[in-house]
Amino acid sequence: MDLDEVNNADLVEPLWRSLPYRTLQGHALVAGDCLYHVPPAHGLVQAVPDRRVDRQAAPNGTVFCSAVQHLTIKYGALTEPMPAAPIGRVWDSDLPVLRQVGQAVWDSLHGRGEPIIAEVCRLDQPAGHDVYQHPCISERAASLVATIAEMSKSVLVEPPDELVRLHQGHRMSDAGSRGSVLTTLVFVNGETRPLGYMTYTALARAAKQTDISLDSLCEMARMLLVKPSEFLGYCGLSPLWAATEEVVDILSRDIERPDFVALMEQMALYVNALGAWNLQLFPWELAPQQWTYRSMREAPAHV
């Protein structure tokens, strides 16, 4: 594929800097025929697009990037009307292969096949895998950032043991009323996605793009991060909860603004990678085959 060096440069540059990397390849579950994955590109959280298009109308092969750390490739019809920031195109000669890849990833995700790991690098450089670590002012923040970066590096390509066990039906706590497992999986996914997509990314952007005081940001972070992370820890994601406790403890002490941004962006990547594995491991085969789409016009009236 070719990346656009002119349009949406704020999105393209963080992606270039993150190369090479490996990451779990995902597929849209409600939006139609598109692939997406989480790249370890922290700068995407802060990027401001200068051009958006209707991704439903964009040609197949269009590559998009977003502030929720998604690199998305459209390969067929999309159902979700959403403006998106294009950053490049898959070569026309590769579009037939792209459609085959899309089907393979769908089969992997929805058909409970083996996970597919995307390997992304420059055409003229070797492959590899690493996660950038933000420089920090305080030694404790730097140490925690390094720990979270290593956790992220691993979880981008391998499901963490706690998620595997949870999806295998092992109850690591009393989560799941009357011994149920599926309910816990649903709630874990429901808490993880907004924690990564919205909370950590919004706090990171607020720290760099607004004049909100650092004291206020730290207080907001403590208010927003503890409850969902503590719940996820109760459900079995104890490493996430332990990391969150460390983050919150640092925020309760003297901290510089760059360290706050580093912690928020590093945690955003980790949580978003966890969210990707939640979707990969989820037992989608439990959905009855007769649950097919009908428009609202076809739905029976309630009596």
The domain spans of the chain are 2-120, 139-286
What topology is assigned to 2-120 in CATH? Answer: Cyclophilin (2.40.100)
**Which pLDDT does position 5 carry in this prediction?**
61
Cα–Cα nearest to 192, from 110, 265, 278, 263: 278
pLDDT of 25: 97
pTM, whole model, 2 decimals? Answer: 0.91
What is the pLDDT, as a whole number, of residue 297? Answer: 47
**Looking at residue 111, what is its pLDDT?**
79
Q: Where are the alpha helices (DSSP H) in 252-299?
A: 257-281
Give me the tens of pLDDT residue by residue for the chain, a chain 303 residues long.
Answer: 677 666 788 888 888 899 999 999 999 998 999 999 999 999 888 888 888 889 999 999 999 988 889 999 999 999 988 888 899 899 999 999 999 999 999 999 887 789 999 999 988 889 999 999 989 999 999 999 999 999 999 999 999 999 999 988 887 788 888 888 888 999 999 999 999 999 999 999 999 999 999 999 999 999 999 999 999 999 999 999 999 999 999 999 889 999 999 999 999 999 999 999 999 999 887 765 545 555 544 544 444
Q: What is the pLDDT of residue 113?
A: 81
By CB atoms closer than 10 A (0-12, 13-18, 19+), residue 254 is exposed
